[in-house]
Amino acid sequence: MIGFVLVSHSAKIAEGARELAEQMTQGRVAIAAAGGIDDPAHPIGTDPMKIVAAIEAVYSDDGVIVLMDLGSALMSAETALEFIEPERAERVHLCSAPLVEGIVAAAVQATAGGTVDQAMAEAQSALEAKRAHLNEAAMLPPAQDEPITSDATHTLRVIIPNALGLHARPAAKLVALTGQYQANLTLRVGDRTVNARSINQIATLGARQGDELIAAAVGPDAVDLLAAVQRLADDNFGDPLDLPAAPSADGQIERHDGVPDHVIVGIGASPGIAIGVVQRLEDERLAIPERNVADSLAEAARFDAAVATAVADLRQLETTTRQRIGGERAGDQAGIFEAHRLILEDPELIARVTEAITATSQNAESIWWAQVQALADRYRALPDPYLSGRAADVIDVGKRVLRHLLPGQTRGLRFDQPCILVAADLSPSDTAQLDSAQVLGIITVAGGATGHTAILARALGIPAVVGAGPAVQRIEAGQQIALDGGSGWIWTTLSDDERQTLAAQRADWLEAQQQLRQRAHEPAITRDGLRIEVAANIGQPDDARQGAAAGAEGVGLFRTELLFMGRESAPTEDEQYQAYCEAASHLSGGPLIVRILDVGADKPIDYLPVAAEANPFLGYRGVRNWLDAPAIARAQLRAICRASAEHNLKIMFPMVSTIAELRDVRERLRAIQAELSAEEIAHNPDLEVGVMIEVPAAVLMADQLAPLVDFFSIGTNDLAQYIMAADRGNPAVNHLADYCQPAVLRAIRLVTKAADDAGIWVGMCGEMAGDPLAVPLLVGMGITELSMNAPAIPAVKAVIRTLDRSACQALVDQALALESPEAVRTLLESRASEQISG
């Protein structure tokens, strides 16, 4: 139950008011008096420490309401809050109601099981009865309650017209509007007045259709601002006019013909049926450290930086969602990210955290998380199911900031049990880490079928519904739901019939998946008879075993960096020889392409120091530094050559950008081979040599590089970054580094043409190779080896079997003529759907 604290300058008044209220509640409510100061000669005053003690004495998680008399009582109470744990302080509410009337009304409300908000509202209206009795019906207009100021206060009264009241979207619009004018705006509904710059305060007003909203503005633009508020209200606060009067119990607001009430329809993004309990991305467990910091100002600055990064992420998501999706859905989905951003731009929330950090010298993570939870609790306490559902958004945003405060901690999502994962959005990196044994299905608020999340979900074989809209944020964690990643339907509850039908469909789907996996061990041959070699990317020898189990016919990329990292000296020739032999032994004679050590200033190795660089990706890396480390180069070359005696090894050089570099590495290799021959050590003298094509210079020089090697392997991740001059790690530009960019496709085409002219083969080992949607283009361009992360293999092989080379070549011609990655995706998507229907 709620606790109460009475603060007065006089101990007698505080104590007297307490006695009066207790008479009404008969000891069922905890009330503490914090009146006067401990100076018998001058007992009148207020003591913040006394208030702290009183709050602690009556504290409960249901909340504490503090009523004060006047003057220093307010300041002392505010000061007291700084000495209370932030998580608790968030639940302590200072109430402006009159002391005696307020405590009696609020305490009575508390005994009736009322929430803090209800008790606060009771206290605020406690003078009504008195006013009525004394015939003071004409109350002062609320604007005059505002602090005295030289500027006049202008007020506007509107009846809230829209069906859902001031929910998050109208609140966001009001905040955005206020920010455009030089004026302060307060909004009053009933007895609560809030700052219009705070989305959390507006949304937690709980204003409903038909309520009277009193907007009071002060400042040079006050009149204009109120006119704009009036226009917004006239526009139904931006809500469509035909929204239902009230959201249904599960908070769902979008309706489709012929769809039952308990079904939400999104975009089917990855086929398959999933039935399971909901886990939200925000339920992912994070260990939040609690510690004291030496420099609280620096800590506050660190917090500000994390918020700024999160705001930038959200702006980017908002823009890309609008661009990629288009249409009415886009506004809805992008609006979620906008609302999330506004939560973070709420000056009151941020100031409270920053202040608490400096006041308590506690670390930002613990204070932020406490504030986020408290805010989410405030939303949860709202009676309107639509608004209380916003708690999930608050937690979501909170997590986003935490991820920036705790870098590294959130790698790899872990859940307690198999679940259906619900999230506002999933980043490609989040999705790529999902384990299909843990995550039965994926639902996102935003996104489209061609989004990265969808592509990756398909490759991982996880059923997914994306772009399901805000309604899914209202699905409770732990609820049993089902989804069909083909039709895009989400069942928020399940009747017995539905459960049976869906379970049967799931069994069929699982069987098809199983067949897919089995067929993954057969070769992938196009309908016109071209065999495409499907291989795995690996980082250590044992990965080759897992790759082979998933259907890999070989390894297209062995990144040798892991063999060199986390140790004090380079692995010896013998150690490397063992590693290469072990990897090859899992492949039943299939090829193992070993890429020589590729390090730079972004991932330095102790014994191969690379000085810090401003631009590691444009720096001393790959063959550029490997050529200057003769001992390391020699040991690695010897190990690879020796392993090539018994196994099907090939060697590949990264970051080649000039013909001279290639000649240099070939010469090194030739010298090592001669050395081994002289020592009579077995090796394959015809070891195939390849270069990775990832630097634009190599693309443009491909015709001169090709005659000097046996194969090319295109690394699309780096190639896309270098072609587009855009860092994948930078949310402001990472959408540019997209392998569907026509510029990237044209680069690939140049490479395959040069290879074709020289009669060498081309493989691909970037993310694009594992994207089932992109595979027809790659086959059409003449790529004959695709190397990817093992889980994507079955789906890629299945796609290859549906292809016809001449149709793929026609598709390439169409794609190369397009002007944007969106257009390319649309083309690929329509081809894929034709394929399914045909």
Partner 1 sequence: MSEMLTKAQLVRWLETSADLFAAQKAYLTELDSAIGDADHGINMARGFAKVAEKLPSVAESDIGNILKTTGMTLMSSVGGASGPLYGTFFMRAGQAAPDQDVLAASDLAAIFEAGLAGLVQRGRAEVGDKTMIDAWTPALAALKASIAADETLLEALIACVNAAEQGVQDSIPLIAKKGRASYLGERSAGHPDPGATSSYYLLKVLLETVKADA
- Residues marked active site are found at 452, 765
Cα–Cα nearest to 535, from 525, 550, 514: 550
Rounded Cα distance, 235 and 489, in Å: 32
In the numeric block, which tokens belong to residue 572? 């010896």
Q: Report, in Å, the least distance between residue 37 CB and partner 1.
A: 4
Rounded CA-CA distance 773/489 in Å is 23
Kindly state the smallest distance separating residue 328's Cβ from partner 1, in Å. Answer: 45
Q: Please identify, using beta-carbon distances, which residue of 47 and 718 lies nearer to partner 1.
A: 47
Closest CA to 211 of 161, 252, 254, 176: 161
CA distance 655 to 719: 10
CB of 349 to partner 1, least distance (A): 16
β-partners of residue 524 are 532
Determine how many CB atoms are found less than 10 A away from the CB of residue 356.
Answer: 27
Integer CA distances (angstroms), 577 to 505, 581, 636, in order: 49, 6, 8
Write down the least CB distance from residue 361 to partner 1, Å: 8
Q: Which amino acid is at 700?
A: L
CB-wise, 299 or 393, nearer to partner 1? 299
72 or 501: CB nearest partner 1: 72
CB 400 within 8 A of CB 314: yes
Cβ proximity of 66 and 86 under 8 Å:
no
Of residues 195 and 319, the one with the C-beta less far from partner 1: 195
- Pairing status of strand 761-764 against strand 785-788: parallel
d(CA 694, CA 436): 31
Minimum CB–partner distance for residue 296 and partner 1 (Å) = 7
- Give, for 833, the enclosing helix (H) or strand (E): helix 821-837
Least separation in angstroms between residue 240's CB and partner 1 is 41
Q: Which is nearer to partner 1, 302 or 621 (CB)?
A: 302
Phi, psi of 353 (to 5 degrees): -65, -50
CA dist 147 and 135 (Å) reads 26
Taking the CA atoms of 250, 251, 254 and 255 in sequence, report the sign of the dihedral they define.
Answer: positive
In contact, 416 and 439? CB cutoff 8 Å:
no
Alpha carbon distance 732, 398 (integer Å)? 21
Beta bridge partners of 690: 652, 711
Do the bridges between strand 688-693 and strand 649-653 make them parallel or antiparallel, or are there none, so unpaired? parallel
Kind and range of the H or E run holding 268: strand 267-270
> What does the block give as tokens for 629?
């480390």
Task: For partner 1, give the closer residue by CB, 34 or 502.
Answer: 34
Residue 729, C-beta contacts closer than 8 angstroms, at least 6 positions apart: none
The least distance separating partner 1 from the CB of residue 359, rounded to whole angstroms, comes to 8
- Compute the least distance from the CB of residue 150 to partner 1, in Å: 10
Beta bridge mates, 158: 213
* Nearer Cβ to partner 1 (39/646): 39
Q: Which residues bind partner 1 (CB under 8 A)?
A: 37, 39, 42, 44-50, 70-72, 75-76, 78-79, 147-148, 296, 355, 358
- Tokens representing 762 are 């081309």
CB of 54 to partner 1, least distance (A): 13
Q: In terms of CB distance, is 37 or 214 closer to partner 1?
A: 37
- Tokens in use for 451? 């989004």
Q: Which is nearer to partner 1, 76 or 162 (CB)?
A: 76
